[in-house]
Amino acid sequence: MPEMDPSMFGSRLRYDGKPGFIELVPTGMGFAEADRTDVRMRRLRIFNEQGDLEGTFLVDPMGVWWADLPDVCDDVEFLEHLHSRNVTP
Residues in the chain: 89
End-to-end alpha carbon distance in the chain: 25
Q: Are 58 and 27 in contact (CB under 8 A)?
A: yes
pLDDT tens digits for range 57-68: 999 888 889 999
Whether 32 maps to a domain, the answer reads: yes
Domain count, the chain: 1
**Residue-level pLDDT at 86:** 56
**Residue-level pLDDT at 82:** 66
Please give the Cα distance from 43 to 86 (Å, whole number).
21
Confidence of residue 56 (pLDDT cuts 50, 70, 90): very high
Whether 1 maps to a domain, the answer reads: no
Confidence of residue 89 (pLDDT cuts 50, 70, 90): very low
Range of the domain at 27: 6-86
pLDDT tens digits for range 5-38: 667 788 999 989 999 999 999 898 877 777 777 6
Please give the Cα distance from 89 to 74 (Å, whole number).
29
Whether 28 maps to a domain, the answer reads: yes
Stronger pLDDT, 86 or 60, i.e. the higher one = 60
